[in-house]
Amino acid sequence: MSELPQIPQPIPPADEPRETQIKRLYMRSIRRGIKEMDVILMDYADSKLREMTDGELVTYDALLAENDHDLYQWITGQVETPPTFLDMISEISAHMLKDGGVLTGN
């Protein structure tokens, strides 16, 4: 994983309505630091956010706080994904491949 310091993310209110949480996570999905992650996560968020459980939304929120370069390497299989995110990263990778995306592990 990257040694770069993480930018602190705002902490959403504990009583954030589900619809507001989904909108916030969608915006964080499409406004990333690198274009590749914008494209990958925008498509995934479009397809999956509304059907996620509350627990999955919490995990996805934590995932979005990670460094884009780390996320890209996890999704493309260049480096091992932390156990906390393994299921979700696997789902994002499979979703991208299903939609005709090309992932390279090189």
Question: pLDDT tens digit string along 35-92?
Answer: 999 999 999 999 999 999 999 999 999 999 999 999 999 999 999 999 999 999 999 9
pLDDT of residue 103: 53
Domains and CATH numbers, the chain: 18-98 (1.10.150.250)
Confidence band (pLDDT; 50, 70, 90) for 97? confident
pLDDT score of 13: 73
Distance CA 15, CA 33 (A): 28
Q: Cα-Cα-Cα-Cα dihedral of 29, 32, 35, 37, to 10°?
A: -50
Q: Burial letters for 5-32: b for 16+ Cβ neighbours within 10 Å, e otherwise?
A: eeeeeeeeeeeeeeeebbebbbebbeeb
87 half-sphere exposure, CB direction, 13 A CA radius: 5
* 3 or 13, greater pLDDT: 13
Question: 105 pLDDT band (50/70/90 cuts)?
Answer: very low
Alpha-carbon distance of 50 to 23, in angstroms, equals: 10
What pLDDT, on the 0 to 100 scale, is given for residue 9? Answer: 61
| Angstrom distance (rounded) from CA 46 to CA 35 | 16
